[in-house]
Structure 1
């Protein structure tokens, strides 16, 4: 006899005698306790048996149509409770959207540009950016050569990024590349898989990560600490990526001779060509030194070399002569 047949037999027994005893089935008909419990469970799920304290067996048998109406009523009550919960949830969501969506939208807008103050915070941003890089890292490095300790720390970070298969392109000032520790760093970076180029002038310090994040310098704080602007979003970052690509196209591929000291034989190329252009623009020694990444004393020496080479008595005459000789023709 299967469970359904036992349930039917128990139902018939309960209709005939509401005071039926479990022993009637377990002792007289040989049911096990498990078989009796299964029959009770099935009748309870069908609504044909309901708990009752009036009977010693703990159950009351209902007519099939009564059981069906009770099941439908129970389901209707359950459904109404669910609908009430849904309405309450919808109301709560509407309140959340009304109260917090404007704040969220404002936060998204401000997240497109963030100013980070202090060396420690800027370093943390750079570290996070290097860890997040998945496709490419682009960078421009104007100014003088960094201290050897910072360079070594940067090389280790760059090697980890390159080891993940991230493409890296970087441009450094030619003048900075001649410092012995920078020469070694750039050659080792190139050997690790990065593409390295040098340029005589660069417009700004810049790092671009995966087309979606850019880091550029900001004005120093009132306390004199460094600051950086972190930009997010492909549209905004795309502008700075375009600046990098422009610089990349005109930069010089790193070679053994590219990092040799420029203090040897003078020739009217490289820094001297940039110097003539800046002289023509009326830049001061301080401004030219900043753009070339050298001291003002070096700028004055380069100007002196230029005028001596051309046999001119002034900076203006040197510029006119350089143009006449075609030194600035690309």
Structure 2
């Protein structure tokens, strides 16, 4: 006999004799205590047996339809409690939204990003940023030299800002600074009161105004005016703080602009080939050695240095010849041995 059959037998016994006793089943019919408890539990779970203090067994058998109504009523009460809890939670969430959404919205409004496309619009954004400057303008300029017209327009903006007492610090790629019209521009900018430095590599083009605005390049937009030129204007103290940190890192590793009459003339590092124990690599040579050690291609090195691939090959040739090396790899080994990459 399985558990369901024993439960039916127990239910039948209770209906036939309201004064039944557990011993009738465990003794007369040979059920074990566990078998009796399982049958009793099944009937109780189905609502057919309910506890009672008026019977000898402690249980009262109910009709199936009565048991079903009781189960449904209990489920309705449980469902009602759940619905009440859901309603209470909904009210609490509505209160949270009402109280804290405005605070969150104000926080989001402090982080603004605007994508500006087209040369004219980018120029207007730069003009607006320059006019907004109150304390300091920081900038990094990788890549090749900009056209003379663009740098002249930038010089006029910078002079106006300097005239208002705004501090300007700028770092340009050394190869670009060696171009004649860029050399003249940077000297004039320096003479106007800006602090100008050069570096052989820079991570990105960047303009930071005070502590709350920055402009960085965006991917070119196909079909847009001005060759797809685009920029992202960021207004967020947190993000601008990160970009300021990048600038300061580049600033610390850059060199003060040489304003002497021969400025920019030694950027290539090229003199007559030949063994010279006193010869030391230029900053550009050192950057080139680091990039060679990193496995960069001539194209990638040219892009980072802002020069042509032909110039990169010439610089590599100078290095290998100065070091008496037969290959690029051997040149790297010699440079490490001489301590040229220690700093």
TM norm structure 1? 0.66
How far is the alpha carbon of 1:152 from its aligned partner?
1.2
How far is the alpha carbon of 1:260 from its aligned partner?
3.0
1:253-308 Cα offsets, whole Å, 9 max, x none, are: 11235533424654412111000000000011111011101011111111111111
Q: Are the structure 2 counterparts of residues 192 and 311 from structure 1 closer, same or farther at C-alpha, using a change threshold of 3 Å?
A: same
Q: Tell me, yes or no, if structure 1 residue 312 matches structure 2 residue 325.
A: yes
Q: Tell me, yes or no, if structure 1 residue 232 matches structure 2 residue 245.
A: no
Task: Check conservation: 2:111, 2:236, Cα contact below 8 A.
Answer: no
Q: Tell me, yes or no, if structure 1 residue 171 matches structure 2 residue 171.
A: yes
Q: Tell me, yes or no, if structure 1 residue 155 matches structure 2 residue 168.
A: no
Aligned counterpart, 1:84: none
1:170-204 Cα offsets, whole Å, 9 max, x none, are: 00011111111111111110000000011011000
Looking at structure 1, the residues matched to 231 and 140 of structure 2 have their Cα atoms a distance apart, in angstroms, of: 14
Looking at structure 1, the residues matched to 269 and 121 of structure 2 have their Cα atoms a distance apart, in angstroms, of: 42
Aligned counterpart, 2:309: 296
User: What RMSD in Å do the two structures reach over aligned CA positions?
Assistant: 2.2
Aligned counterpart, 1:63: none
Aligned counterpart, 1:262: 267
Q: Are the structure 2 counterparts of residues 121 and 221 from structure 1 closer, same or farther at C-alpha, using a change threshold of 3 Å?
A: same
Looking at structure 1, the residues matched to 285 and 268 of structure 2 have their Cα atoms a distance apart, in angstroms, of: 12
Which structure 1 residue ranges, 5 or more long, are not aligned?
1-96
Farther off after superposition, 315-324 or 271-280: 315-324
Looking at structure 2, the residues matched to 188 and 303 of structure 1 have their Cα atoms a distance apart, in angstroms, of: 33
1:241-260 Cα offsets, whole Å, 9 max, x none, are: 00000000111011235533
Q: Tell me, yes or no, if structure 1 residue 241 matches structure 2 residue 252.
A: no
Matched position secondary structure for 2:228: coil
1:15-164 correspondence runs (5 A): 105=105, 108-109=108-109, 112-164=112-164
Looking at structure 1, the residues matched to 317 and 336 of structure 2 have their Cα atoms a distance apart, in angstroms, of: 17
Looking at structure 1, the residues matched to 111 and 240 of structure 2 have their Cα atoms a distance apart, in angstroms, of: 13
Q: Tell me, yes or no, if structure 1 residue 283 matches structure 2 residue 296.
A: yes
Looking at structure 2, the residues matched to 308 and 141 of structure 1 have their Cα atoms a distance apart, in angstroms, of: 31
Task: Check conservation: 2:269, 2:281, Cα contact below 8 A.
Answer: no
Looking at structure 1, the residues matched to 314 and 258 of structure 2 have their Cα atoms a distance apart, in angstroms, of: 26
TM norm structure 2? 0.63
Looking at structure 1, the residues matched to 158 and 177 of structure 2 have their Cα atoms a distance apart, in angstroms, of: 17
Looking at structure 2, the residues matched to 236 and 263 of structure 1 have their Cα atoms a distance apart, in angstroms, of: 37
How far is the alpha carbon of 1:222 from its aligned partner?
2.3
Aligned counterpart, 1:204: 204
Q: Alignment length, in residue pairs? A: 231
Looking at structure 2, the residues matched to 107 and 118 of structure 1 have their Cα atoms a distance apart, in angstroms, of: 30
Which structure 2 residue ranges, 5 or more long, are not aligned?
1-96, 272-279
Looking at structure 1, the residues matched to 121 and 338 of structure 2 have their Cα atoms a distance apart, in angstroms, of: 50
Matched position secondary structure for 2:157: helix
Q: Tell me, yes or no, if structure 1 residue 180 matches structure 2 residue 180.
A: yes
Aligned counterpart, 2:91: none
Looking at structure 1, the residues matched to 179 and 340 of structure 2 have their Cα atoms a distance apart, in angstroms, of: 27
Q: Are the structure 2 counterparts of residues 108 and 292 from structure 1 closer, same or farther at C-alpha, using a change threshold of 3 Å?
A: same
